[in-house]
Structure 1
Amino acid sequence: MPFNLPIALTWLRIAVIPVFVALFYIPESWVSVPVRDAIAAWIFIAAAITDWADGWLARRWKQTSAFGAFLDPVADKLMVAAALLVLLKLGRVDSLIALVIIGREIAISALREWMAQMGASASVAVHWLGKFKTAAQMVAIPCLLYKTSWHDVPIYVIGQILIVIAALLTVWSMFYYLKKAWPTIRDRA
């Protein structure tokens, strides 16, 4: 297993997930809800930044690897799933939205794995729909975690709008990937 700074950043993103979730089990007498929510939002933002940074560094320093290509999306999906489950527990995201986003991630990951085994991974390569979906949810989640208005900007409302957009893009991108994979599935199933 290769170890370099991009992979270390990915492992850091995975390691911070229990800390992120544990924040919501700290008694309010130790940390107020607004402070807890701000810390959680910043942890998620830092994780999103490291997601971008590890890929950029790996490409720039020519340190890409099959293991890094596997681990990076796993870290992303774990962090998003943990955040959505926390938001669900807090009543800040609808269960249908959380189910759609998490379910799509599992389904498309399985599809990509299967297509790779058939030598057809290019047919389900990342598309701009997936990138927009990721961007929408990466902005929505910290807004929903933070919940408080900032200089009269309704952060939470922005998060609610963006998470619905992310869910719609999630469904759209899932159908896009399934459509791209269908000829291979039909011919080899």
Structure 2
Amino acid sequence: MNLANKITLARIFLVPIMMFFLLVNFDSYKPIQFQDFSITYTQIIAALIFIIAASTDGLDGYIARSRKMVTSLGKLLDPLADKLLVAAVLISLVEMGKCDAWIAIVIISREFAVTGLRQVALLEGQVVAASKWGKWKTAVQITAIIAMLLNNFPFALIGVRFDLIATWAAALITVYSGIDYFVKNKNVLHLS
């Protein structure tokens, strides 16, 4: 197994560890409080794990391409790892009351739909490449998730709901990027 695939597998293994810190109740530890802002140590740990896992997404792809290590296993594992990470954290955030369920459903549904489109394209001998909107979608989703994981820090200190703005932006860009994939690849589905 090459380095790029090992990094992708590490991202997958970080998912349950992150969820443990998000969802297990550690009542014996007092949260960090500053004025009206409060956050638990476990939320900070989960956010750091998420940031590390999310940052490996670009790293494994870069290593695979630059060192000519692209493999079929990597092509399967990389998108799977991305979907697992985002779906797990969004479902956890819904459970914690930090994300509306409909936003998680929209984002996760788009991921399934585009994955399905890519699978159909592969059966037709075509590849659906990542688009600029797909890359923007990923960046905005990660930003929104980090803001929610950190209870909107540091924006909560100045009364700005950045987490809400970023979450709505993520939902809108997610929908737009999904539509964009299907419009640009309608020939794969024989709709043209």
Q: Same fold (TM over 0.5)?
A: yes
Q: Distance in 1 between matches of 2:65 and 2:97?
A: 39
User: Which amino acid is 1:75 matched to?
Assistant: A
Is 1:58 the counterpart of 2:64? The answer is: yes
Equivalent pairs, count: 184
Does structure 2 retain, via aligned residues, the 8 Å contact 1:149–1:156?
no
Does structure 1 retain, via aligned residues, the 8 Å contact 2:47–2:146?
yes
Is 1:29 the counterpart of 2:28? The answer is: yes
Which structure 2 segments of 5+ residues have no match?
Answer: 32-38
Cα distance, 1:46 vs. partner? 0.2
Give the match's secondary structure for 1:176.
helix
Does structure 1 retain, via aligned residues, the 8 Å contact 2:152–2:162?
no
Equivalent residue number for residue 53 of structure 2: 47
Of stretches 46-55 and 56-65 in structure 1, the one that deviates more from structure 2 is: 56-65
1:114 to 87, 99, 120: 120
Of stretches 39-48 and 49-58 in structure 1, the one that deviates more from structure 2 is: 49-58
Equivalent residue number for residue 9 of structure 2: 11
Q: Distance in 2 between matches of 1:101 and 1:72?
A: 18
1:1-189 matches, within 5 Å, as: 3-23=1-21, 24-29=23-28, 32=31, 34-121=40-127, 124-147=128-151, 149-150=153-154, 157-186=161-190
Give the direction of change, closer, same or farther, for the CA distance of 1:43–1:55 in structure 2 (3 Å limit).
Answer: same
Q: Distance in 2 between matches of 1:155 and 1:65?
A: 47
Does structure 1 retain, via aligned residues, the 8 Å contact 2:155–2:162?
no
Give the match's secondary structure for 2:121.
helix
Q: Distance in 1 between matches of 2:99 and 2:130?
A: 26
Q: Distance in 2 between matches of 1:52 and 1:150?
A: 26
User: Which amino acid is 2:64 matched to?
Assistant: A
Q: Percent identity?
A: 37
Q: Distance in 1 between matches of 2:44 and 2:25?
A: 14
Give the match's secondary structure for 2:99.
coil
User: Which amino acid is 1:140 matched to?
Assistant: A
TM-score (norm 1): 0.89
1:12-59 per-position Cα deviation (integer Å, ceiling 9, x unaligned)? 110111111111214322574521111111010000111111111112
Q: Distance in 1 between matches of 2:105 and 2:158?
A: 25
Of stretches 57-66 and 108-117 in structure 1, the one that deviates more from structure 2 is: 57-66
Which structure has more helix as a fraction of its residues?
Answer: 1
Cα distance, 1:154 vs. partner? 5.7
1:50-88 per-position Cα deviation (integer Å, ceiling 9, x unaligned)? 111111111222211121122111101100000000110
Q: Distance in 2 between matches of 1:95 and 1:106?
A: 16
